[in-house]
Chain A
Amino acid sequence: MTAIIASRRHVLAGTGALIVSFSSATKLLGEAARQGGPEQTEKPPLPGSLKANPRLDSWVRIEADGSIAIFTGKAELGQGIKTALLQIAAEQLDVPLASLKLITADTGITPNEGFTAGSRSMQDSGRAILHAAAQARAILLATAGERLGVAPSELKTQNGTVIAPSGSNIRYGELVSDELLEVEAQPQSHLKEPGTFRIIGNSAQRVDIPAKVTGGEAYVHDLRLPGMVHARVVRPPSYGARLVSVSTDSVKGMAGVLKVVRDGDFLAVIAEREFQAIKAMRKLAANARWDEKARLPRASELPSFITSLEAEDTVILDRGQPQSADGKRFEATFTRPYQVHGSIGPSCAVARSDHNGVTVWTHSQGVYPDQQAIAELLRLPTDQVRCIHMEGSGCYGHNGADDAAADAALISRSLPDRPVRVQWMREQEHGWEPFGPAMVTKVSAVLDRNGRIADWNYAVWSNTHSMRPGGAGSLLAGQHLAQPFAVPVPKPIPQPEGGGDRNAIPLYSIPNARVVHHFLPAMPVRVSALRALGAYMNVFSIESFMDELARAADDDPVEFRLRHLDDVRARDVVTKASEIFGWRPSSQRHPGHGHGFAFARYKNLAAYCAIAAAVEVDRDTGRVWLVRAVAAIDSGQAVNPDGLINQVEGAILQSASWTLYESVSFDNTRITSVDWSTYPILRFNAVPDSIEVHVIDRPGQPFLGSGECGQGPAAAAIANAVADATGQRLRDLPLTRGRIKAAWGT
């Protein structure tokens, strides 16, 4: 074994020109060249998720018949990641895309890559697969070389076959043996030259769409297992409500009802057929008596409530000497309400318990953390719980998926050997999903005589943006049991990722700057990660304020930003978006018509995105219509440009909906926005005339996460356009008709 490993390492370290594509590139190249051998005392980190899962066969398995399976711990959320990862693998392995199979997050068989979140899939899984596939190919070449008696550098691969100069060839399937890929990955890989890419960089059609338009099985909602039964949960009417009494007899007699499950405040019913379960749920709900407490803040005073909460302060940026510059000072306060994920398909899960444990099919973003939490919930050893990811509808972060999985797992314990399907109702998803937190930001800046920002002070107040992982205490089922699990103490996500402080540090060159994160542990309303986390609000605030400063400096908003941007790639997206939009200085714009611009680099380390927007505002009704938007995005090596464009188009429309319409409503006890009439979102009557997204491809550059880069700039671009159209600056999200009329109406 050792000899083989040594020879693999030897093979990998010695193959031709090394192209390394992660940060410690120079150091490693130098070392490898100097030492000329594979044995290194200090092992450099493996790229991406290979760090935690170094075995190649965790990622790539080749069968004797030549079929290849790629494994990823990430999940398809509708962002096209399946396709992109397959493209990467296909490119490096030199096989047709269609010949690959992708297995996604399954605690039984795929690597543990934590959560599919934070736009990290390309950076974590993409890089891992890039290297794993490349190294697998290198091993295949070496093996073929041995068999053909040809140096691996003389061989080439094509269509799943190794070809020698003489023309003789061996298919991959003929080269494999059981242990072939049971090796650890190396820090370096022989990657293909980006110039030779035929699959990466191609807008390959998504592999999951055909089933979705022809009624194929695509979602966990579609899973049908033999003997499957249907369950519905009766959720409490408000946070902390206690179930005083419920008459279950009336329900037990209903057609098809198999069981009523009650544990403390957790109440559910199982029936043979789905509609039977729904009817039983309604009856149970009607007969249940709850003891509720009025403990929610006043919605109309939410911002002041937020800033009054006890905070844990962290200074995340302290540059230069704040307050020392002289010039004119400007200040602004921005607010954001709670907002919902609002997945179109309410959360769903299927669970099956038997004497071996429980298997859960779930659309959770993190099957491994969910596995742990469910194991804790059911008081089972972790390896007796298996969580398998199946797609749900877009979750946009931490929605009800984990809770539905827990519900199903818990309920399934009451009916062993029969798969139990739990489907959340619309009102339950709206009322119980963890929301995007309400936030307040305050910014103040000084412009010097030359109209440059000399000093910058920024503070953000926010709850945690992540209650994951959290063990059983972060699951609703865990909180509602008779013996509940304590809700874990929320902790801030440290920089450079950040939670409420994500993107709180502006990318702009400002000599004196201070940014403070006021982390608020107390959460009267259930919150967690909503797409982009704090970046949506922080970019909205910063970019709105940049506009205000630009106008104060009598400068064009785009020019003003360019004056403060050193990063070349940032400048490129700004320039591209403004040029294609046809950005002109705002001279005599027709009242009611406005243009706005915004830019951000997601997390200051992921994708760059600039957006220009045109809006029309009706003075009488306050209605805002997004007419047109142009975006430029740089996400490094663009694996699937069309997939990128799709994501950014979607981000702009989703953000337009958040920004113009959305806020959770609640009275002193309950969440009252429980469906689409009480929480309206964008419909087709508000869709713009056009959205254009331009991708700046950077072949060879690291992949940069792009799934969340558009929401912040879109919000600010719209807000800036509204300010341009009305002459009024609105700083409170959402920019409702009522607010616009109050500020600008006749």
Chain B
Amino acid sequence: MKLNVNGRDHEVEVDPETPLLYVLRNELALNGAKFGCGLGQCGACTVMVDGEAVFSCLTPLLVLEGKRITTIEGLGTLENPAPLQSSFIAEQAAQCGYCIAGMIMRAQAILQKNPGASSAEIRAGLEPNLCRCGTHMRILRAVLRAAGQMRTVGSSAKRSVP
């Protein structure tokens, strides 16, 4: 079946019951989304589908036909990072870093819908995502920092992804 990931169509020949996470990581060799629990409890697998944050570990391919999937690789690259990516680097918002890609995707979904999100709203929005190293303070700072950048009117940093 056809999957649209980060703006490109991919033809994948897998069992349609396969959760998106495994297809992203194996068939498409994307590292961002991670296996953390497979139960929708930790958010390490978070990606965006049509602009909404979803647990890719629980979303089977068969519901994704015609939808636009975005992973962290689709937000930006090292050479051309998205506001969230550069903010996380600037704030050094990671320890082991395993949860971070999921955090960034959840934050992207929050900020796209609510660019003026307050600290309290961001905290509430990030609740589905776990961090075991205790990097929460920096994660919040990085998200708020990116929110500020994304709100800048006319800035090329303002980028909305499907």
User: A residues touching B (Cβ–Cβ < 8 Å)?
Assistant: 77-80, 203, 205-206, 208-219, 221-222, 224, 255, 273-276, 278, 342-346, 391-394, 396, 423, 425-426, 642-643, 646-647, 649-654, 656-657, 675-677, 681-685, 687-688, 690-691
- CB of B123 within 8 A of CB of A215, answer no
Shortest C-beta distance, B84 to chain A (Å), equals: 8
- CB of A218 within 8 A of CB of B89, answer no
Closest A residue, CB atoms, query B37: A426
- CB of A79 within 8 A of CB of B129, answer no
Complex Cα–Cα for A425 and B25 (A): 16
A650 — which chain B residues lie within 8 A by C-beta? 95, 133-135
Shortest C-beta distance, B122 to chain A (Å), equals: 8
- Say if the beta carbon of B112 comes within 8 Å of chain A: no
- CB of A208 within 8 A of CB of B37, answer no
User: B residues touching A (Cβ–Cβ < 8 Å)?
Assistant: 14-15, 17-19, 22, 25-26, 29-32, 34-39, 41-42, 44, 71-73, 76-78, 81, 84-85, 88-89, 92, 94-101, 104, 123-124, 126-127, 129-138, 140
Q: A278-B38, A654-B132 are in contact. List 5 more A-B contacts (CB 8 A).
A: A209-B89, A210-B89, A213-B89, A213-B101, A684-B140
Complex Cα–Cα for A656 and B44 (A): 22
Q: A212-B97, A216-B78 are in contact. Are A224 and B22 (CB under 8 A)?
A: no
Complex Cα–Cα for A292 and B89 (A): 49
- CB of A273 within 8 A of CB of B95, answer no
Q: A206-B92, A681-B130, A683-B130 are in contact. Are A344 and B42 (CB under 8 A)?
A: yes
A212 — which chain B residues lie within 8 A by C-beta? 94, 97, 100-101
Other-chain contact of A214, B39, B42, B81, B95 (Cβ < 8 Å)? B81
Closest A residue, CB atoms, query B77: A214
Shortest C-beta distance, A210 to chain B (Å), equals: 6
Q: A214-B73, A215-B31, A345-B35 are in contact. Are A676 and B96 (CB under 8 A)?
A: no
Other-chain contact of A394, B39, B71, B73, B98 (Cβ < 8 Å)? B98
- CB of B14 within 8 A of CB of A273, answer yes
Interface centre among A215, A391, A651 (most CB of B within 10 A): A215
- CB of B135 within 8 A of CB of A675, answer no
A642 — which chain B residues lie within 8 A by C-beta? 92
- CB of B44 within 8 A of CB of A344, answer yes
13 A-B pairs, CB-CB below 8 angstroms?
A: A210-B89, A213-B101, A218-B97, A275-B14, A344-B36, A344-B130, A345-B34, A346-B35, A393-B132, A426-B42, A653-B135, A676-B37, A690-B137
Nearest 3 CB-CB pairings of A with B: A78-B96, A653-B134, A393-B98
- CB of A216 within 8 A of CB of B124, answer no
- CB of B96 within 8 A of CB of A393, answer yes
Complex Cα–Cα for A523 and B129 (A): 34
Closest A residue, CB atoms, query B125: A684
- CB of B26 within 8 A of CB of A274, answer yes
Shortest C-beta distance, B138 to chain A (Å), equals: 7
Closest A residue, CB atoms, query B123: A684
Complex Cα–Cα for A684 and B133 (A): 13
Complex Cα–Cα for A659 and B38 (A): 27
- CB of B89 within 8 A of CB of A205, answer yes
Interface centre among B32, B81, B131, B138 (most CB of A within 10 A): B131
Complex Cα–Cα for A217 and B31 (A): 6
Shortest C-beta distance, A644 to chain B (Å), equals: 12
Complex Cα–Cα for A80 and B138 (A): 15
| Dominant SS among interface residues on chain B | loop
B30 — which chain A residues lie within 8 A by C-beta? 215
Other-chain contact of A77, B96, B104, B131 (Cβ < 8 Å)? B96
Closest B residue, CB atoms, query A276: B15
- CB of A209 within 8 A of CB of B78, answer no
Complex Cα–Cα for A273 and B32 (A): 19
- CB of B85 within 8 A of CB of A426, answer no
- CB of B104 within 8 A of CB of A684, answer no
Complex Cα–Cα for A273 and B34 (A): 16
Complex Cα–Cα for A79 and B92 (A): 12
Complex Cα–Cα for A217 and B89 (A): 16
Interface centre among B39, B124, B134 (most CB of A within 10 A): B134
Shortest C-beta distance, B112 to chain A (Å), equals: 18
Shortest C-beta distance, B107 to chain A (Å), equals: 11
Complex Cα–Cα for A77 and B94 (A): 12
Closest B residue, CB atoms, query A677: B41
- CB of B22 within 8 A of CB of A274, answer yes
Complex Cα–Cα for A274 and B33 (A): 15
Closest B residue, CB atoms, query A204: B92
Other-chain contact of A653, B18, B126, B127, B136 (Cβ < 8 Å)? B136
- CB of B34 within 8 A of CB of A649, answer no
Complex Cα–Cα for A219 and B73 (A): 16
B81 — which chain A residues lie within 8 A by C-beta? 213-214
B94 — which chain A residues lie within 8 A by C-beta? 78, 206, 209, 212-213
Q: A206-B94, A344-B44, A687-B140 are in contact. Are A649 and B135 (CB under 8 A)?
A: yes
Complex Cα–Cα for A10 and B30 (A): 54
Interface centre among A208, A274, A278, A652 (most CB of B within 10 A): A274
Other-chain contact of B137, A208, A273, A396, A649 (Cβ < 8 Å)? A649
- CB of A214 within 8 A of CB of B132, answer no
Complex Cα–Cα for A543 and B56 (A): 44
A217 — which chain B residues lie within 8 A by C-beta? 31
A677 — which chain B residues lie within 8 A by C-beta? 41
- CB of B127 within 8 A of CB of A684, answer yes
Closest A residue, CB atoms, query B41: A676
Complex Cα–Cα for A697 and B96 (A): 24
- CB of A345 within 8 A of CB of B98, answer yes
Complex Cα–Cα for A329 and B41 (A): 48
A683 — which chain B residues lie within 8 A by C-beta? 127, 130
B130 — which chain A residues lie within 8 A by C-beta? 344, 676, 681, 683
B71 — which chain A residues lie within 8 A by C-beta? 215
- CB of A221 within 8 A of CB of B35, answer yes
Closest A residue, CB atoms, query B124: A685
Shortest C-beta distance, B3 to chain A (Å), equals: 15
Closest B residue, CB atoms, query A393: B98
Closest B residue, CB atoms, query A343: B132
- CB of A275 within 8 A of CB of B89, answer no
Closest A residue, CB atoms, query B38: A426
B37 — which chain A residues lie within 8 A by C-beta? 346, 426, 675-676
- CB of B39 within 8 A of CB of A423, answer no
- CB of A394 within 8 A of CB of B26, answer no
Shortest C-beta distance, B61 to chain A (Å), equals: 10
Closest B residue, CB atoms, query A657: B134
Q: A214-B77, A215-B73 are in contact. Are A649 and B96 (CB under 8 A)?
A: no
- CB of B36 within 8 A of CB of A426, answer yes
Shortest C-beta distance, B117 to chain A (Å), equals: 13
Interface centre among A212, A255, A343, A649 (most CB of B within 10 A): A212
A80 — which chain B residues lie within 8 A by C-beta? 95
B137 — which chain A residues lie within 8 A by C-beta? 649, 653, 687-688, 690-691
- CB of A675 within 8 A of CB of B35, answer no
B34 — which chain A residues lie within 8 A by C-beta? 219, 221, 345
A273 — which chain B residues lie within 8 A by C-beta? 14, 18, 22, 26
B77 — which chain A residues lie within 8 A by C-beta? 214
A222 — which chain B residues lie within 8 A by C-beta? 25, 31
Complex Cα–Cα for A217 and B129 (A): 21
Interface centre among B44, B94, B123, B126 (most CB of A within 10 A): B94
Interface centre among B39, B78, B131, B133 (most CB of A within 10 A): B133
Complex Cα–Cα for A731 and B29 (A): 49
- CB of B132 within 8 A of CB of A275, answer no
